[in-house]
Amino acid sequence: MTNPNLLSVADLGADGIEEVLRVTDSFVEVSARAIPRVPALRGRTVVSLFYECSTRTRLSFETAARRLSADTMNFTITTSSTTKGESLRDTVETIDAMGIDAVVVRHSAAGVPWQIAGWTEASVINAGDGWHEHPTQALLDCYTIRRHRKTLEGLRIVVVGDVKHSRVARSGVLAFTALGAEVTLVAPRTLLPPSTEGWPVEVSHDLDAVLPKADVVYLLRLQNERMSEALIPTLREYTSGYGLTRRRAALLQDDALVMHPGPINRGVEVAAEVTDLPRSVITQQVANGVAVRMAVLYLLLAGGAASESGEPALA
């Protein structure tokens, strides 16, 4: 990686994404060992600075850091001096003064990782900023698709649901299209951004029409926590128009994949039984997330790009 931070998928471009995916292969192998640990980041310190809730991203970054033998520091809002009014900047500068090498940050406000990058020399990794971006989710999604298909080039990826509030969709569109996929967004008008001008996507409101040609169906949760008004009539009507029901799953090609970043609202954007089908790779996305995040931490902190073969030097 040429950039000291990972703030946006745009920091990587197609070559940078390919580099992360190549290095991830090595960390999938490490993760499968009886003792899944290498000394690559011994002596380095990685801080989790999560101002928003998380299960997958937080735990997988912490697991990734430990598997690389880095020290970890975990910041929890409810037990921190944020509750006494300490500002974001003072919090970052305080943690920075303890000696850190990377900050993994999630915040409800778009742009916070960029602000933090101005306050610390440590590498900053965006683990989700508001509706804006979630780059490592996009990387693990690309990796998961590549485990099933040799390439994303020419694949038809259908992203369904609450695109408007989705940082996953924004990073996903950047990464999928950088690797040559064609993306179609499917949502009611109220769950699309006011304009998709400049987005390299098609837009549809008819899920039944696009499913038969899809190679990947990527489902998004309704992000109620980001909605200040009613954007759908009822959950039942939303599911009826945009949920991946059992009937709709039967419209898919035999080898089409079903993906979801989690957390899932079963029975809303996807039927519970559809998540159990062999075509559903949702738990594989989670498992790959650890190795992808090991690759990101390694490339940012271990002092150099991977070799031509993509093999990091791991003892």
* Contacts (CB under 6 A) with ligand CP, residues 123-182: 128, 137
Which of helix, strand or coil describes residue 218?
Answer: strand
Q: How far is the CB of 262 from ligand CP (least distance, A)?
A: 5
Q: How far is the CB of 306 from ligand CP (least distance, A)?
A: 25
User: Under a CB-based contact definition with an 8 Å cutoff, are residues 141 and 294 in contact?
Assistant: no
* Contacts (CB under 6 A) with ligand CP, residues 241-270: 261-263
Q: Cα separation of 157 and 99, whole Å? A: 42
Q: How far is the CB of 127 from ligand CP (least distance, A)?
A: 7
User: Under a CB-based contact definition with an 8 Å cutoff, are residues 212 and 251 in contact?
Assistant: yes
Identity of the residue, 86 or 225, whose beta carbon is nearer to ligand CP in the bound complex: 225
57 is an interface residue for ligand CP by CB under 6 A? yes
User: Under a CB-based contact definition with an 8 Å cutoff, are residues 269 and 260 in contact?
Assistant: yes
Q: What torsion do the CA atoms of 39, 11, 304, 139 make, to the nearest 10 degrees? A: 40
Question: Among residues 107, 135, 121, 104, which one has the least CA distance to residue 10?
Answer: 135
Identity of the residue, 295 or 306, whose beta carbon is nearer to ligand CP in the bound complex: 295
Q: How far is the CB of 46 from ligand CP (least distance, A)?
A: 16
Identity of the residue, 168 or 251, whose beta carbon is nearer to ligand CP in the bound complex: 168
Q: How far is the CB of 294 from ligand CP (least distance, A)?
A: 16
User: Under a CB-based contact definition with an 8 Å cutoff, are residues 41 and 61 in contact?
Assistant: no
Contacts of 1 (CB under 8 A, 6+ apart): 11, 12, 16, 19, 20, 299, 300, 305
Q: How far is the CB of 154 from ligand CP (least distance, A)?
A: 26
Given the rule CB under 6 A, which of 51-59, 68-76, 217-225, 300-308 is the region that contacts ligand CP? 51-59
Identity of the residue, 92 or 220, whose beta carbon is nearer to ligand CP in the bound complex: 220
User: Under a CB-based contact definition with an 8 Å cutoff, are residues 137 and 194 in contact?
Assistant: no
48 is an interface residue for ligand CP by CB under 6 A? no
56 is an interface residue for ligand CP by CB under 6 A? yes
Q: Which residues bind ligand CP (CB under 6 A)?
A: 54-57, 128, 137, 261-263
